[in-house]
Amino acid sequence: MSVIERMPVVFVSHGAPDALLKSADTLACWQSLGKLIPKPAAILVISAHWEATDATVSQAVQPATLHDFSGFSPELYQIQYPAPGAPVLAGQAAALLSAAGINTKSHPDRGLDHGAWVPLSVMYPDADVPVAQLSLVAHESPATHSAIGRALAPLREEGVLIIATGSITHNFSWLDWHASEQKAPDHRASTFADWIANHLSDQAALLDYRRAPYGAEAHPHDDHILPLFVAIGAAKGDTPTRYQPNFTYGSLSMDAYLWRGPVTG
């Protein structure tokens, strides 16, 4: 009988778009993840930078590279990530979500936002793996997003890599735009990042993360932590491995997590 490895699930903190230019430690982490994971048949990416009223999948055949930011180096606006789309995967994801009772829609050609293409351009620089993007659901809870992840989990058995990208900490008022990566991080950010790591398998505590030390301050809005809950749901209890690149801008945790499934025969 052939042995099949269920695809892992990945969460990455994508940081500011200029991580590509300034954050060598983060790039090394993303590169190592890309080499560690078996090459997927396709990627389903969930980014903090796309919210919709319902869970929405992009049917783009050739997703555009969206430069959905301002005020950064002109060099960033020249970067393209020409990965092919994955409309068949988008349809499979929509079917799984609908079967789980989650309202689902399709978008004909929505491109890849920077939360998606920035880490993907390092993990898979050849842009040769088809990618479909799924939105978050605006104003919905961490529990809802965990349910979205659980609904998508069967895709892992078909060679699909589920990548969720957001941020473990995301409070602009904490940022130090002049901080080097070698500077000790803001203690509030590091305290919350460590709390997440220590409670990653405690669903009840995580769902109530705002009661954690600095939890509410770390995320004035839920959007950047919600992808983590999608990843946890899709992981279905697999054991996570934490990766800890240096903080950027003094308070942006760049933590990444990889959940590996057991080998099945």
pLDDT band at 182 (very low <50, low <70, confident <90, very high): confident
Using the predicted structure, report yes or no on whether residue 177 has a pLDDT greater than 50: yes
Q: Of 120, 212, 104, nearest to 165 (Cα)?
A: 120
- How confident is the model over 85-107, as a mean pLDDT? 98
Predicted pLDDT at 179: 81
The CATH number fitting domain 14-256, selected from 3.40.50.300, 3.90.950.10, 3.40.830.10, 3.40.190.10: 3.40.830.10
Ranges of each domain in the chain: 14-256
pLDDT of residue 2: 44
Mean pLDDT over each residue of the chain, to the nearest integer: 95
What integer pLDDT is reported at residue 262 of this predicted model?
Answer: 59
Rounded to 5 degrees, what are φ and ψ at 172? -60, -30
The whole-number pLDDT of residue 123 equals 98
Is 41's pLDDT higher than 50? Answer: yes
Residue pair 255/193 in contact by the 8 Å Cβ criterion:
yes
pLDDT for res 22: 92
Q: Give the tens place of pLDDT for each residue, 128-138.
A: 999 999 999 99
pLDDT of residue 264 exceeding 70, the answer is no
Give 190-245 pLDDT, tens digit per residue.
Answer: 999 999 999 998 989 999 999 999 999 999 999 999 999 999 999 998 999 999 99
The confidence score (pLDDT) of residue 4 equals 57
Tokens of residue 146, six digits: 């965990």
Q: Which of 80, 90, 104, 38 is nearest to 260 (CA)?
A: 38
